[in-house]
Amino acid sequence: MSDGSLPALPTADQLRSEVRNWLRDNWTSLPRNVDPWTSSPERIAWLEKVLDAGFAVPTYPSDWFGRGYPADLANVIAQEFAAAKAPGSRQDKYNIAANTTFALGTTTLKDDLLRDFLVERARTCLLYSEPGAGSDLAAVRTTAVRHADRWVVNGQKVWTSGAQTADYALLLARTDWDVPKHKGLSLFILPMKQAGIEVRPLVQITGEAHFNEVFLSDATVPDAYLLGGEGNGWRALQTALAYERSIMGDTGRGSRNSRADSLLELARVHGKLDDPAMRHQLASVLAMRELNKLTNARAKAAATQGTSSSLMSLGKLAMSKILHAEAAVKSQLIGAQALLAGPENPVADDVNFLTLNAFFTSIGGGTDQIQRNIIGERVLGLPREPEVDRDIPFRQARRS
């Protein structure tokens, strides 16, 4: 009979040895994942192994695929996976759907979907923004109306990445029009593969079409797939947004051909490492990256599972600036080549792609302007911007 005591935690050295040995026995490599919105059978099989070993979400309790480790031990696992260039560990820091489901979902929802989210057997998208409700996200007008044990959803979403291939979506919908806008929202996990959901791709400035507009006509979602309870959607959304901003604050998307990802290598190849003016610009960008790592570490230390941290906005805003600055330096490094494009000019094509794609971080997950508002109000304690419709029933709010 158990005496109720918890199992002893390993030391960092013991855990490091365990992870290294496990990776040595199990990790080889995976085929290059060309499409970031789908997962190959080989990748899913690998993530199954990582999850079953307890390395995917080590801070989760053992009942939910974890080990109950504190963050410092969990980070040891992430370090060893990074050294081996193996994916799948420490998803308790970045998997938006899984972490939001774990923090706020019903037992039914976690039983149904948590594992699939963690092994990428079920891919997700984010149904937040709408025409007329982007920066003012609390003004969404997509409705969810309860019918017995299900909700019926009608409305339109836009700028949804990965909606074409998603199996589920985090959906923000209005469930009460007679309370102020922030109080009448609910957050759901919506099955995407059903009648009543139409996805239309939107072509981006990079020529890709990862963004979409989504039309919902009597789509349904089980009541058990409600996150955080009815009317608590705004608070639940902050948890999901914190993970999204954390991811976007950690890194930016790489280039298409992997020919211009390394700033220092690009400078070396083009003979600019000894140029004093260029060295100054390189040092500035690299210093910003290092400072942002420390800011993100601070933000994550301040946030516990299922909560949000306003400091995440600092990291996201900084990464936006970093990506634009890096793209500008890379354009200077390659000089007139920046006028070229296409696969026959892979370096220039990559630099121009990164220049254009930097705007994604400036807009997605809340614009740079929204992050400045959050930082001003919640970090610096500045007065809140005027919001005339904040405290009136949303039904009475003026709408365009």
Give the residue numbers annotated as catalytic, written as ranges.
244
Integer Rg of the chain from CA: 22
d(CA 112, CA 225): 10
- Count the residues in the chain: 400
In degrees to the nearest 10, what's the CA dihedral of 40, 55, 297, 106?
80
Sign of the dihedral through C-alpha 275, 280, 286, 289: negative
Gap between the Cα atoms of 364 and 337, Å rounded: 29
Q: Tell me the angle at which helices 311-334 and 346-363 cross, rounded to the nearest 10 degrees.
A: 160
- Residue that has been written with the tokens 């006028």 in this structure: 339
Burial 35-54 (b: 16+ CB within 10 A, else e): eeeebeeebeebbbebbebb
Token pair, residue 44, equals: 């899913």
* Dihedral-angle region of residue 104 (phi above 0 means left; psi in -120 to 50 means alpha; beta otherwise): alpha
- Determine how many CB atoms are found less than 10 A away from the CB of residue 154: 16
Dist. CA 54–CA 76, nearest whole Å: 13
How many angstroms separate the CA atoms of 331 and 362, rounded? Answer: 19
Cβ-based neighbour number of residue 14 at 10 Å:
12
